[in-house]
């Protein structure tokens, strides 16, 4: 599945993230959800990662664009558009890293 993921949350067990020429692979509970845009904004996708290692967090915090492929049981569950513009990166109380991006 490619394009917009929809507003219902999806959960995978692995993800491959491509950001600024770097490819990172992570395993664990990984969430993906489309976000309804505020008036005048574009659709957005939120990717929720397990606690990443410090180098991965640094790489993601510096990136301006990214794309990702979400897997479940080795099969592709969702593939994002090729260049999502980073809108926000933050950590939640559990240490999970969330990245929000929108096309273009």
Confidence band of 79 (pLDDT split at 50, 70, 90): very high
pTM: 0.86
| pLDDT at 89 exceeding the cut of 90 | no
| pLDDT at 78 exceeding the cut of 60 | yes
Confidence band of 1 (pLDDT split at 50, 70, 90): very low
Continuous H helices in 1-104: 54-62
Q: Which of 60, 64, 30, 32 shows the shortest CA–CA distance to 45?
A: 32
């Amino acid at each position: 599945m490619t394009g917009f993921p929809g507003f219902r949350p999806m959960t995978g067990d692995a993800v491959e993230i491509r950001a600024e020429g770097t490819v990172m692979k992570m395993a664990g509970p990984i969430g993906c959800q489309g976000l309804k845009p505020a008036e005048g904004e574009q659709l957005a996708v939120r990717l929720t990662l397990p606690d990443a290692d410090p180098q991965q967090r640094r790489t993601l915090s510096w990136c301006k664009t990214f794309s990702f492929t979400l897997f479940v049981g080795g099969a592709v569950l969702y593939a994002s558009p090729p260049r999502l513009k980073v809108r926000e990166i933050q950590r939640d109380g559990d240490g999970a890293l969330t990245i929000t991006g929108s096309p273009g």
